[in-house]
Amino acid sequence: MENIIRLAVQKSGRLSEKSLAVIEECGIKYSRNKVKLKAPSYNFPLELLFLRDDDIPKYVAAGVADVGIVGENVLAEEEAEVRVMEKMGFSKCRLSIGIPQAVGYTSIQQLNGKKIATSYPNLLGNFLSQNGVEAEIHEISGSVEIAPGIGLADAVCDIVSSGSTLLANGLKEVETIFRSEAVLIANPSLNAEKESILDQLLFRVRAVKKAESFKYVLMNVPNDSIEQIMNLMPGMRSPTVTPLALEGWSSMHSVLKEDDFWESIDKLKSAGAEGILVIPIEKMIV
């Protein structure tokens, strides 16, 4: 039994930097030689494999890699047999249909008989048949958004995040067919040893992810507001309260969900809190 897991990440592209950042935040160190496909870690039983993102689902299904980080869009398109272990919270995007800005849009039905360029023929094909639309799917591997401009297609189905690429190519987004983010996938039948390494990896990934969604908050509060502020900010178990040198005041420390941040800050201020400091948390284990 080989006592390491092989983790496939995108070699170079939109997923690469963030995938490696998570690995590094998990305390997994490795040395990378840019020309090599593999990088072994020297402090965790893991080896990184650098691959094209489209190949990651197949390789993980086949056991060439044990785990991988890939976009849900690619995973859904490839229909590989893998387990989705964790949503990673980055590379959020959507797969959308775009048509020329000058063309009016009333409903999906107007795509009947039209030609649509895409790198996602399976996802698009499923969406069209669910909506009873028969269109010609023209599969191209890159620069899909230029297809209508050069007369290759009437519409596109492509990855969108802000929509600026569509706009720059004279297109507008008319239908969203799939929402995606990066996920950690695993081969369905790992041996017990690899499964236990995967558990350790997931434990660290979750601690990093959790930390990212919370902030550590410190503030000075008048003693008679402590109870009110405690209710606004319950913290992990309960907040830490220590007296200030100044009579009648205390320092309160707690954690706050990033999403609730601005709303909570306003409430804390009106409850009398001052000198509020908000500090990032590196790891969080609850």
Q: How many helices (H) and strands (E) does the chain have?
A: 8, 15
Shortest distance in whole angstroms from residue 12 CB to Zn ion: 11
Residues at the contact surface with ligand ATP, assessed by CB under 6 A: 10, 13-15, 52-54, 71, 73-74, 91, 93, 159, 161, 180
CA 252 to chain centroid, in Å, comes to 33
- Our CB check for Zn ion shows the closer of 120 and 214 to be 120
Residues 41-70 that bind Zn ion (CB under 5 A): 53-54
Return the number of the residue (74 or 111) whose C-beta is nearest ligand ATP. Answer: 74
- Rounded least distance, CB 11 to ligand ATP, Å: 6
Measured from the CB atom, is 25 or 54 closer to Zn ion? 54
Q: How far is the CB of 95 from Zn ion (least distance, A)?
A: 13
Alpha carbon dihedral 63, 66, 72, 77, in 10-degree steps, equals -10
As given in the structure block, the two tokens for residue 117 are: 């360029």
Pairing verdict, β 214-222 and 249-257? antiparallel
Does 78 bind Zn ion (CB under 5 A)? Our answer is no
Other C-beta atoms lying within 10 Å of the C-beta of residue 285: 9
At closest approach, how far in Å is the CB of 90 from ligand ATP?
8
- Cα 89 from chain centre: 3
By CB under 5 A, the residues from 95 to 114 that bind Zn ion are none
Pick from 221, 255, 258: which is nearest to 238 by CA? Answer: 255
Q: How many residues bind Zn ion (CB under 5 A)?
A: 2
Q: Which residues lie near Zn ion (CB under 5 A)?
A: 53-54
